[in-house]
Amino acid sequence: MTTERIAEFFKTRRPEGPCLVVDREVVRDNYTAFRRALPDSAIYYAVKANPAPQILELLASLGSNFDCASVAEIEMVLEAGAGADRISFGNTIKKERDIARAHALGVNLFAVDCHEEVEKIARAAPGARVFCRVLTDGEGAEWPLSRKFGCVPPMAVDVLVYAHQLGLESYGVSFHVGSQMTKLEAWDAALADAKRVFAQLAKQGIYLQMVNMGGGFPTKYLRDVPTAEAYGQAIFAALSRHFGNQLPKTIIEPGRGMVGNAGVIKSEVVLISKKSDDDKHRWVFLDIGKFGGLAETMDEAIRYPIRTDRDGDEMEPCVLAGPTCDSADVMYEKNMYPLPITLTIGDEVLIEGTGAYTTTYASVAFNGFEPLKSYVI
Amino acid sequence: MTTERIAEFFKTRRPEGPCLVVDREVVRDNYTAFRRALPDSAIYYAVKANPAPQILELLASLGSNFDCASVAEIEMVLEAGAGADRISFGNTIKKERDIARAHALGVNLFAVDCHEEVEKIARAAPGARVFCRVLTDGEGAEWPLSRKFGCVPPMAVDVLVYAHQLGLESYGVSFHVGSQMTKLEAWDAALADAKRVFAQLAKQGIYLQMVNMGGGFPTKYLRDVPTAEAYGQAIFAALSRHFGNQLPKTIIEPGRGMVGNAGVIKSEVVLISKKSDDDKHRWVFLDIGKFGGLAETMDEAIRYPIRTDRDGDEMEPCVLAGPTCDSADVMYEKNMYPLPITLTIGDEVLIEGTGAYTTTYASVAFNGFEPLKSYVI
């Protein structure tokens, strides 16, 4: 996944310290693949995955829409050249004054998952379109979503009726099957729930128009993942099964699936050591860790591919840890990582599939270390 | 723990958005308490706990020494007015070029825990003093340190012999009993190990001088913790037990214990909702969460005291979560947090005991949210 352009960048620019390089051409290819796989769905790029201005500008120029988590993200998208009509304020947890600011900037599409949020939007963005997020079970996802977002489907019906009563446009429902979802059938149960909410509301004369099918599209880390095409077919089949020939408008919100495989982090081996003479395993310490951009290694959830110049040599399982004085800054220990036995202090390692959820996750200055640098080429 | 000065600051300044306020007078009191409790130990403040310039300046003026994790932290301490002779480069994981930079800045005291790190220091800081970190078991600590730092005591002997052979000054040993350690006896076993390393090296004609007893001193969160005085007595007793009348120089490295209780975060309730009509528990969403400064709520490890203006009212257990679109951004769910049933969207909450490990831990811009603002008064 280290493209020739990225390899060339590292070779010629030789940046000091850990850094991420994102290849714009891969983002473009991913966008095209989503377009082809789900030609009838609008793409709302999940800005939080990687808000680098060059990525937002590229996607804006390709015609993408944007899923924003905050006013700051909305402003970045506007700055990148997309109009407010291409923005969804997709965070279900919003301050009322932020809703008002977004509305003043022209945003007219908001996520909700409870009556209280509907009331805020009715006051701060009167007449706006809202969609209600429905809880789904995240089984099969490598980064499960828990119960934090969404409400059960019967409550979603009440929430959307309430929105209608308060003068908002009850526009649709959303769900999120869980990040890095590799089970194609995951969308089926969620679409069945969505259809039931549509039907319940239609009985009350409220006609929803849109299903926001969220993100969850995976990046290939170590294991193969289904193609965008396979997702497209499975989702289209599920949509047809549940909605028949009255297909709603649909939205997808790829983040990881759009930029994850477009980025590579360069890091350096700072130390390799053992804890005792008879320790079976080496500890390999990099100059990046859980607080420097690899937060998604939390609980060893995401397992990134790691490349070295010595990959032809014999491999042995190692503990992999970051450079901070924090004991939690260990990436892989329960499930150790195979690395070349010849790996040496000072070696460069490439951590692939790191285009998403790395730069902005980095801590601002923990242990005095700078946040992750980033280059988009 | 919200001092009158902090309360007054919030009342008169009314800062917008989540922010930390640290009361310098509490830091001064903590420093004095450590001084009195362990009058024969040198205090090396763990800069990573909170590197705010005003805190470093205060501690420098009081005569504190400093434990630094990186060259950036070393530069901040020098900037605050302490000389390089008051600095320990306490991170066991250092790039060789960072050792050289620290040495060029005058730093002459370095942590090691393996032969490889000794070699780097011998090359980059010839003749410097080194201490070897010994693995201890973190039983009893609320934020356990795992095996990331240190080596077993027999290996520490070899490492210090090796340092001596390479022309370094083998100066002592260090250990860390685990952060937020509330068992007074924890230092005893570690000091026994330290003494054995001293004795083994003395047999080879190498006379260590210093025991770095690390940090681990707790902050009072919800439960009472022993006083600095009680720690002082327990540690002095253990030192005497193991070293008799040949007491070594000793160092302590309080971080959390120095600044934890000096800080209070002001936050705002963004949303309160349920997931279904018959949900037994309310979800309370704040404008700060795990990625905005409360990283130590990871695995619900640190449980901060939370104050509201409605604390006299009836309480009920709530799930407490942050404002980002990340499902992992939930602070307390398995062990829910009691909050007033009258708590309302827009209410201010004060999160106490947040002076340590909050500001620099905050993510740089996750979801577009700014890092935690901080004021030292």
Kindly list the distances between the CA atom of residue B44 and the CA atoms of A270, B68, B98, in Å, as whole numbers in the listed order: 25, 9, 20
Q: Measured between alpha carbons, how far is A19 from A376 in angstroms, rounded to an integer? A: 11
Q: Which residues of B are catalytic?
A: 325
**Exposed, middle or buried: residue A330 (CB in 10 Å: 0-12, 13-18, 19+)?**
buried
Instruction: Output A106 or A299, whichever has higher pLDDT.
Output: A106
Tens of pLDDT along A82-131?
A: 999 999 999 999 999 999 999 999 999 999 999 999 999 999 999 999 99
pLDDT of residue A185: 84
Q: How many CB pairs lie under 8 A apart between chains A and B?
A: 215
Which stretches in chain B have pLDDT values below 50? Answer: 144
pLDDT of residue B254: 94
Q: Measured between alpha carbons, how far is B28 from B34 in angstroms, rounded to an integer? A: 10
> CB B270 to CB A95 under 8 A?
yes
Contact B128, B118 (CB under 8 A): no
> CB B363 to CB A366 under 8 A?
no
* Closest Cα in chain A, distance from residue B298 (Å): 9
Q: Measured between alpha carbons, how far is A40 from A61 in angstroms, rounded to an integer? A: 19
> CB B363 to CB A365 under 8 A?
no
One-letter amino acid at A190 equals A
Q: Which residues of A are catalytic?
A: 325
Helix (H) or strand (E) holding A271: strand A263-273
pLDDT of residue A112: 98
Q: Measured between alpha carbons, how far is B40 from B70 in angstroms, rounded to an integer? A: 27
Instruction: Output A69 or B146, whichever has higher pLDDT.
Output: A69
Write out chain A residues lying below 8 Å of B18, CB-based: none
pLDDT at residue A144 greater than cutoff 60? no
Helix (H) or strand (E) holding A268: strand A263-273
Instruction: Output B301 or A293, whichever has higher pLDDT.
Output: A293
One-letter amino acid at A192 equals A
DSSP-based three-state secondary structure for A372: coil
Contact B90, B116 (CB under 8 A): no
pLDDT of residue A362: 92
Domains of chain A, first to last: 90-254 (3.20.20.10), 261-376 (2.40.37.10)
Residue with tokens 């800054």: A329
Please, which residues have CB within 8 angstroms of residue B120's CB and are 6 or more apart in sequence? A345, B94, B96, B99
Here the tokens at position A29 are 């290819």
* Closest Cα in chain A, distance from residue B105 (Å): 16
Please, which residues have CB within 8 angstroms of residue B287's CB and are 6 or more apart in sequence? A95, B17, B18, B267, B268, B270, B323
Write out chain B residues lying below 8 Å of A137, CB-based: none
Q: Measured between alpha carbons, how far is B116 from A70 in angstroms, rounded to an integer? A: 46
Helix axes A24-37, A53-62, angle to 10 degrees: 40
* Average pLDDT taken over every residue of chain A: 94
Tens of pLDDT along B309-364?
A: 999 999 999 999 999 999 899 999 999 999 999 999 999 999 999 999 999 999 99
Buried b (16+ CB within 10 A) or exposed e, A263-296: bbbbbbbbbbbbbeeeeeebbbbbbbbbbbbbbb
pLDDT of residue B142: 55
pLDDT of residue A219: 84
Q: Measuring CA to CA, which residue among B363, B367, B287, B322 is closest to residue A255?
A: B367
Q: How confident is the model at residue A180 (pLDDT cuts 50, 70, 90)?
A: confident
Kindly list the distances between the CA atom of residue A275 and the CA atoms of A35, B145, B286, in Å, as whole numbers in the listed order: 51, 14, 41
Here the tokens at position A259 are 């930029």
Nearest by CB: B364 against A270, A346, A371: A371
User: Chain B interface, mutation test: which of A88, A121, A136, A148, most B Cβ atoms within 10 Å?
Assistant: A148
One-letter amino acid at B159 equals V
Buried b (16+ CB within 10 A) or exposed e, A123-135: ebbeebbbbbbbb
Q: What is the 3-state secondary structure (H, E, C) of A211-257?
A: EECCCCCCCCCCCCCCCHHHHHHHHHHHHHHHHCCCCCEEEECCCHH
Q: Measured between alpha carbons, how far is A325 from A376 in angstroms, rounded to an integer? A: 30
pLDDT of residue B141: 54
pLDDT of residue A168: 98
Q: Which residues pair with residue A268 across a beta bridge?
A: A348
Tens of pLDDT along A194-238?
A: 999 999 999 999 999 999 999 888 888 888 888 888 888 999 999
The ipTM of this complex is: 0.94
Q: What is the mean pLDDT of residues A273-297?
A: 94
pLDDT of residue A217: 84
pLDDT of residue A227: 87
Q: What are phi and psi of A220, to 5 degrees?
A: -75, 115
pLDDT of residue A183: 84
Q: Which residues pair with residue B330 across a beta bridge?
A: B321
Contact B267, B288 (CB under 8 A): yes
Q: What is the mean pLDDT of residues A244-267?
A: 96
Q: What are phi and psi of A319, to 5 degrees?
A: -80, 135
Contact A192, A198 (CB under 8 A): no
pLDDT of residue B184: 83
> CB A150 to CB B275 under 8 A?
yes
DSSP-based three-state secondary structure for B60: helix
pLDDT of residue B94: 98
